[in-house]
Amino acid sequence: MTRPQVRSDIALRKGYHSPQIDVDVRLNTNEAPAAPPEGFDTALHEALDNIAWHRYPDRGATALRTKLAARYDRAVEEVFVANGSNEVLQTIMLTFGGAGRTAAVFEPTYALHAHISKTTGTAVVEGVRRDDFTLDLDEVRRIVETHEPDVLFVCSPNNPTGLVDPPDTVDAVLDIMSGTNGLLVVDEAYGQFSPTSAVGKIADDVPLVVSRTFSKTWSMAAARLGYLLAPAWLVEELEKVVLPYHLDAFKQAAGVAALEFGSAMDERVALIIDERARLLQQMADLPVQTWDSGANFFLFRAAEMGGDELWQALVDRSILVRNCASWPRLDGCLRVTIGTPEENDAFLAALGEILQ
């Protein structure tokens, strides 16, 4: 019996994976450095007592969406929730992408934007960022005028570079796209660590989506919970595409419980921002190049050592960071997540030892 054949555009592609290695210090996937605050487990256990496990979950995730809407001062109808921000992005592409349609990305940027687009059968056009990795509006204009993409991705803070786009960038990109039927997706997975956000620009007549996640700020990477804010009409279209009952009752309860600890999470964000500044300041004394970051990570490159070699040397010292050396235009680059002060000190000590 012959094997069924996968789609020809999928067969030779690689999946998107982060190495999972048993090390003492894991700083490679931009997770929160600490578990949820004290009281979260108790609140979640109490919520679980009220779950009717023999019934399907609330398809509209009403309680969770209501909490998120209140946090952002938006209408409930402007909130969409899913299994991690990647399912949020996938649902966008299933709704607005597909065969005969095009998505635009600007490299280097989050690899899943192109990966998910291609998986949904959407053609991908790649623009390039400037040499300093900032977004080039002339390049955006060239891509829009040449290809008229149906979906255009902007990641701010950008992953893996960490750079934050100026506040007027979203307005400028929307203006460039105004003569098309394209949708602008602003990925703010790390938005809580940044001084600016595009959420306030969402309006019924603006083709704009802002995507966010619980994985970083809310210490809930294990839960896989993401959401977006968008015009109500757009959320309604997404609901036509997403699978029924796709968000289980446990996950909805976890999200509602987490949102009760907003002030504690805001304090954690402030601590991470302080640690990020400390690490970047101390990295200035090492023979490395770093880039400013508005996220819970930053990108760096050693002056006289290749990225693969440096990554392995850190692993040998039980420190795991993300190797970005093979990514577009990131030759020799590594990305390090901001961990606890103790983890960060271990990283600095190992890096300093290697580069001496």
Distance from chain centroid for Cα 304: 30
What does the pLDDT read at residue 9?
A: 73
106: left (phi over 0), alpha (psi -120 to 50) or beta: beta
pLDDT tens-digit readout, 254-288: 999 999 999 999 999 999 999 999 999 999 999 99
Q: Cβ(153)–Cβ(289) under 8 Å? A: no
Cis previous bond, 166, omega within 30 = no
Tokens coding 292: 């400013």
Per-residue pLDDT, averaged over 131-152, amounts to 97
Q: What HEC string does the chain produce? A: CCCCCCCHHHHCCCCCCCCCCCCCEEECCCCCCCCCCCCHHHHHHHHHCCCCCCCCCCCCCHHHHHHHHHHHCCCHHHEEEECHHHHHHHHHHHHHCCCCCEEEEEECCCHHHHHHHHHCCCEEEEEECCCCCCCCHHHHHHHHHHHCCCEEEEECCCCCCCCCCCCCHHHHHHHHHHHCCCEEEEECCCHHHCCCCCHHHCCCCCCEEEEEECCCCCCCHHHCCEEEECCHHHHHHHHHHCCCCCCCHHHHHHHHHHHHHHHHHHHHHHHHHHHHHHHHHHHCCCCEEECCCCCCEEEEEECCCCHHHHHHHHHHCCEEEEECCCCCCCCCEEEEECCCHHHHHHHHHHHHHHHC
135 vs 4: which has the higher pLDDT: 135
Q: Which amino acid is at 69?
A: A
Mean pLDDT of the chain: 94
Domains, the chain:
8-36+263-355 (3.90.1150.10), 48-261 (3.40.640.10)
Tokens coding 235: 């959320």
What does the pLDDT read at residue 57?
A: 96
Phi, psi of 298 (to 5 degrees): -150, 160
For residue 173, pLDDT over 90 is answered with: yes
Percent of all residues in the chain with a pLDDT value above 90, rounded to a whole number: 87
For residue 88, pLDDT over 70 is answered with: yes
Q: Cβ(332)–Cβ(343) under 8 Å? A: no
For residue 175, pLDDT over 90 is answered with: yes
Per-residue pLDDT, averaged over 115-123, amounts to 96
Tokens coding 57: 């979950």
Tokens coding 200: 């306030």
pLDDT tens-digit readout, 44-56: 999 999 999 999 9
Per-residue pLDDT, averaged over 242-250, amounts to 96
What does the pLDDT read at residue 5?
A: 75
Q: Does the pTM exceed 0.85?
A: yes
Tokens coding 243: 């699978």
For residue 1, pLDDT over 80 is answered with: no
pLDDT band (50, 70, 90) for residue 13: low
Per-residue pLDDT, averaged over 79-84, amounts to 97
What does the pLDDT read at residue 17?
A: 55
What does the pLDDT read at residue 2?
A: 77
Q: Which residue has the tokens 């609330």?
A: 58
Percent of all residues in the chain with a pLDDT value above 70, rounded to a whole number: 97
* Largest Cα–Cα separation, the chain: 63
Tokens coding 39: 């009281």
What does the pLDDT read at residue 321?
A: 97
What does the pLDDT read at residue 22?
A: 87
For residue 16, pLDDT over 60 is answered with: no
For residue 72, pLDDT over 60 is answered with: yes
**Cα Rg, the chain, nearest whole Å:** 21
What does the pLDDT read at residue 210?
A: 98
Using alpha carbons, select from 321, 304, 337 the residue that is nearest to residue 215: 337
What does the pLDDT read at residue 328?
A: 85
pLDDT tens-digit readout, 326-349: 888 999 999 999 999 999 999 999
